Amino acid sequence: MQKVGQEDSTNHPTYECEKCQDKEGYIVRGEDGREYWRFCECREQKKTKRMFKSSQITEEFQKLGFRNFITENRPKCVVDAYETAQDYLKYFDRFRNERKNSIALLGNPGCGKTHLLMAVSNNLMRKGVGVLYFTWVDLLNELKDDFDLLHEKVQRMQKVDVLFIDDLFKGRKEPTPFQLEQLFAIVNYRYLNHLPIMISSERDIDQICEIDEAIGSRIYEMCRDYTVLLQGSRKELNYRLREAN
């Protein structure tokens, strides 16, 4: 398999972009006779590609959008979540630097919470907004795997443009004090610096506050304008069970 930049059978190097030879720009001569650097059209495409790669969003999840989310014959709370996620994306640039700049989809499993927030994430990255995605379980593993890199990992979660934590507090075991300490450091930094968080969880705000009120109250304030609670019968809300029937 030939790699970009390697020579082909005719000893000519190959590039993703022949125009700039993957330098993301090229020299042009102006009317004044001077040479200027001009960014290539491929630059934004490559920037977006790098952004998707660093987001930790899988190729399968990169395909999730609003167009392939089914709202027909779904409960009102699911439609509300769909419209709320669309509105959040639509007005993101207006409030992204404010305190109330985040979104939380909470409640029953199988409602499409992850799909909708993934649709927001994918569209934000296409607009040049960086997103970092973690499930709660993966987040715990990231924090405990290598304590030497703990500070670096926490800093990345603190400072990325948008942090997406999926299935917050998922699992039967209660978080340890160490885990809550690290999560608070992440949430509090983003709270103080007006950096958006996207949260999906099977727990509502009261239940999150029961685990840690400092974390829960900050999430509530940040997500207040864009929070949807999806509750109802399992058979009605869980699309996986509906498909099985």
Q: Are residues 93 and 207 in the same domain?
A: yes
Assess whether 108 and 8 both reside in one domain. Answer: no
**Same domain (yes/no): 120, 202:** yes
226/145 same-domain check:
yes
* 56 and 36 part of one domain: no
Q: Which residues, 6+ apart, have CB-to-CB distance to 76 below 8 Å?
A: none
Mean pLDDT by 10 residues, the chain (245 residues): 48 66 66 70 60 69 90 91 97 96 94 95 92 86 71 89 94 86 95 97 96 97 96 71 57
| Domains contained in the chain, number | 2
Q: Which structural domain range is residue 9 located in?
A: 1-40
Q: Can you give the CATH number for the domain in which 57 is found?
A: 3.40.50.300
- Give the dihedral sign, CA 140/174/167/220: negative
The burial of 64, by beta-carbon neighbours within 10 Å (0-12 exposed, 13-18 middle, 19 or more buried), is given as buried
- Claim to verify: residue 117 and residue 212 sit in the same structural domain: yes
Can you say whether the dihedral through the CA atoms of 43, 45, 49, 51 is positive or negative? Answer: positive
- Report pLDDT for 2: 43
